């Protein structure tokens, strides 16, 4: 698998180009070869992809987002196993997420409901919500 950055992606036309980390010419990418929602692909987004020879030259396939600009958290719409534990007794029973599971759920909700939010903003929001969740016992310590 190759790694690079999106240098251009036209959401309306459904294609763009990736600058490979190892250098060389930009690689063509079509919306049909994206593994995540196409609105998530914008300049600066780091991706992992396979290189193939198409009818018109080199092209990317199986393109997956690995991170967004200013975001140390990898952005992905693929599901991750989340540990859930039943706690309490009687009518007070609730699901308690692991800290990782909680962060994953919050990040997914932010990406799907506000796609224009930046990676830095997601990090700030998740950190604040994590503190609230811990103070209310919504996540394990």
CATH superfamily membership of 2-67: Nucleic acid-binding proteins (2.40.50.140)
Q: What is the pLDDT of residue 86?
A: 46
Residue (of 30, 23, 21, 20) closest to 56 by Cα position:
30
CATH 2.40.50.140 domain residues, the chain: 2-67
Q: Could you say which residues of the chain have pLDDT below 70?
A: 69-96, 141
Q: Please report where in the chains the tokens 């800290």 appear, as a residue.
A: 99
CA distances from 130 to 37, 53, 58, 104 (A): 26, 45, 43, 11
pTM of the model: 0.51
């Amino acid at each position: 698998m190759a790694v690079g950055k999106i240098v251009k992606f036209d959401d309306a036309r459904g294609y763009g180009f990736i600058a490979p980390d190892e250098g060389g010419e930009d690689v063509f990418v079509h919306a049909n070869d994206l593994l995540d929602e196409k609105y998530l692909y914008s300049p600066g987004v780091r991706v992992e992809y396979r290189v193939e020879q198409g009818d018109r030259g080199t092209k990317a396939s199986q393109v997956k987002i690995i991170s967004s600009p200013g975001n140390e958290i990898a952005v992905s719409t693929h599901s991750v196993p989340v540990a859930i534990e039943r706690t309490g007794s009687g009518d007070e029973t609730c699901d308690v997420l692991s800290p990782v599971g909680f962060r994953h759920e919050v990040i997914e909700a932010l990406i799907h409901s506000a796609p224009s939010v930046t990676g830095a903003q997601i990090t700030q929001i998740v950190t604040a919500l994590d503190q609230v969740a811990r103070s209310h016992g919504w996540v394990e310590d």
